[in-house]
Every structure is written in structure tokens, then in C-alpha cells.
Amino acid sequence: MFALHHLSAQELWDWIRRGDATALEVTDHYLERIARLDPTLGAFVTVTAEDARDRAARLGELVPTSRPLWGIPTGDKDLYDRAGVPTRSGSTTLPVVPATVDHPLVSALAAAGTVSLGKTSSPEFGMSSSSETRFGVTRNPYDTERAPGGSSSGAAVAVAAGLLPAAVGTDGGGSVRIPAAATGLVGLKPSRGRVPSMPGRSGLGGLAVAGPITRTVADAGMLLDALVAPTGVPERVPYALVTPEVGEGPFTAAAVRGEGRFTIGVLDGSPWDDTVDVVVDPAARAAVETAVRVLGEVGHGVEDLAMPRLPYADAFRVAWESSAAGLPRVPGIDLTQATPLVAWLVERGRALTATQVLDAMAALDAFSVGLVRAFDRFDAVLTPTLALTPRPLGWYGDDPEEDFRRQCAYSPWTSMANVSGLPAITLPVGATDAEHPDGAGLPMGVQLIGRPGGERVLLAIGAQLERRLRWQRRHPACW
């Protein structure tokens, strides 16, 4: 039987604009699903039902109906402040007090016309791809004994399970693409500087940017158009890459048309191979083979590409450790309550010297230059998104060194796109079969890494694959 959550975000937006459904009806539908399904899944840490219904009822008074996501329900990743709602950051170390101002990303989504239904879960301070926190576990809707990955854990689970039509996550080393791949979704990490409200300029190395998590490629283009729109972004936030008036037209158009023939490199190896034992599951290889086959059928040129031998792992580890060094300065924080991983990262980060950090940043800059040169003759480079199937709950363990190693082994191809600033998209091309030891039906994705500013090419290729593989029809049992 048809229900509103069966609609894509684009279709839902059309329904609301035509008057076939009101923003309040849509909000109520999703809130009912959250109340019924989320106690098992743990996608939300806070549900703001009363505020959501009030905003949906008054949305026409607050935001013009012309805004790009008018009436679309969404959630805020619980690392970013929304005024009046506590920000938990996946941690029991922080005082539970309401935020006083909105984060620029939250402001931008509100200005685009969204209705926030609450805060979606994240591992502690977004420092892990685990989905287990001190006050809750977020479960993969395809197998609730498995994790969705992180750090945009709750956002991906909410979209996959039909608790939200689409969501925006943030990605500092794969945090949009990892959970999207593990839950059968499209996840897009834009180029550094593409999204004005979170351009990747804050934080060491400029790693983290905001990006869409959606069921379809067209929805990803739609959300990216909304994120790059200047409406509602504070003037103090610069437009580092491009404004909507410059470039090649809307991202949605590229995602809907799906036009073009391109040269695609199939990457052999990862930047972690010299320091981590990267074991690629046959299901991950099969996903790449499926993508290569379909890309060839479409008419793209597909060539093999060896991973360039560039120093990487030690420098990235320093960047990740140093990003935790400032946590003790957060007002009211009690790091005696931190998870072993975060406590370890803080300790290691605060022990680094300025020279060590500067040397690591120089090494990552050199890596970026070398990677862009190696990829330059290709319009996109194809990798598995994840080396393994979605991980069982508890897989990361309590030993922080092993936790970090396992994160790198699970997603060895994602962080290099953050370091280089290149755009990257994960696409849910396949699933495990009945012969797989982990069972049938676990989502498996591939990643495409584009040229600087090359999101439209990634969306176009994604649309071509989607038309033939029809992944938008796959859903977990709770759907």
C-alpha cells in the first residue's frame, strides 16, 4: 500500500508544491514512523516533534514556498547546534544544555525550507565510523545486529528506513559515504569549498564538508543545489568555490539528465596498503565488477589505474589525532567520561609538537598534489566504497589503537578524497548474495572520485548506473 515515505525527496517536494500533501501532513507521517520504528534503530537521539509540527504548520509564514527544500523533513546531525536543543555529540562528557544559536549548516537548511524532526546520532565527536555511543546504539536497518557505519550514522539509518526522505551529513574522512554505503544509499561528499555553510575551511587540514545522503541520485543533486544556495548563510561565511550563478547549471539537472561519456579509472590499491592489512571482501570486488560492466555498456572508457605510491598514513593519523587536541577546551566538558578512542586521540593529539603537525600538513599537501596528478587523465576514479560488508556491532572493540586500525581497513579509499578536497560519491550498486558468509542482502557500494569541482560528472554517471541497476527499489524489511 502506498505511503508518503515511498516518495523520493523530489517527488515529495512536488506533492507539497501541488497541494497533494501539506508540510504538516508530511511531518506527521514521518514523526509517526520515527515513534514506531526508531526505538529499535536508534537513528535519533532527540525528537523535536512539537517544534517540528509548529514549524510545518507555520512554514508559509516563515519561509517562501520558492525555497528549494520547502516542506521537506530532515534531521540535524548531533554535532551541530540548533538553538533550543541540546547538542550531545554522541558523548556523555558534555553538559546537557540547549544550544543558544544555530550552526551555519542548520541555518542554511532552515532557510531552504526544511522541517527538522530532531537530532540524528553520531559517534562521539564524529571521531569514529562506529555507531555505538555511551547512551545508545544505532543499528543498520538491513540487519539490526550490524552497524550502519559513521559518523553520520543516524542520518543514513533514518533515510534508509524511511524515517526521513533525505538528510545532510558531514564528512571528514568518509562520514557521509561510509554509512550511505552500509545502508544502501547515495552519499555525496562535495569538493572542498563547495558548500558555503560548511566549506571545509574550519579544522586542521580542511577535511570536513557537508553533503547529501539520499535514496536517489536526483535527490542528491537537489540537496546539493540547496546547500550551495546563498540564502540564509551568514555573511561571515565565504563562498570558497562557486556560487549558483557560476558554472554549468543546477546539480539537479545533471543528476536527472545523466548525460555524457567519460573516461573512468579503476583503482588498484589504497593509500593505507603500506601500514594496514587491507583485505577486500569478494562482495566489494563484485560491486566494482558490476559497475565496470554497466559503465562499459553505457559507453564509457574504463581503464586500470594503480594507486600512486605517496606517503600518507602517518600524516593522516597526525591530522586525526591533532583534531582531538582542542576538546579539553570545550566549556563544561568532562573527558574522564570519554570513550577509549576519544581519550586516546586527545592524549596523542596534545602530545604532538607544532613541528610534527606542520610536517604532517606538508606531507598531506604533497599527497594531494600527487593524487590529483595521478588522477588527472580520468573524469572519475572508481573504487569500492568499503572493503568489507557492514560490520557487526561491537566489531571495533575497546582498544583504541585497534579501533583506529579497523576504521582504516574498513574504508581505506574514503579519506584520501577529504585530504585532496576532491568530490566523491558512493552508489549502492549491489548487495551480498545467498552464498556470502555474512548472509544475503547486505548493501555494497562503489565510490567515484571526481576532478576538483566535478560533482556534476559524478551525478551524471550515478544517474546512468541508477537507471540500469534500479537500486532505489531496494529497501530494508522495516520499509
Catalytically active residues, by annotation = 77, 151, 175
Asked if omega into 116 is within 30° of 0 (cis), the reply is: no
The Cα–Cα gap between 380 and 302 comes to: 10
Cell of 297: 555498456
| CA atoms in the 13 A half-sphere facing the CB of 382 | 30
DSSP 8-state symbol, 146: B
The residue type found at 212 is P
The Cα–Cα gap between 302 and 347 comes to: 45
**Of the candidates 130, 110, 346, the residue with the CA atom closest to the CA atom of residue 234:** 110
The Cα–Cα gap between 10 and 104 comes to: 24
471 and 443 Cβ atoms separated by less than 8 Å: no
How many residues in the chain?
Answer: 479
CA 251 to chain centre: 17
How would you class 160 by CB atoms within 10 Å of its CB: exposed for 0-12, middle for 13-18, buried for 19 or more?
A: buried
283 and 436 Cβ atoms separated by less than 8 Å: yes
Alpha carbon dihedral 95, 97, 101, 103, in 10-degree steps, equals 50
Cell of 254: 545533471
CA 260 to chain centre: 26
DSSP 8-state symbol, 92: S
Q: Any idea which residue has 508530511 for its cell?
A: 26
Distances (CA, A) of 479 to 15, 37, 91, 141, 154: 20, 10, 29, 9, 16
DSSP 8-state symbol, 443: E
SS3 37: helix
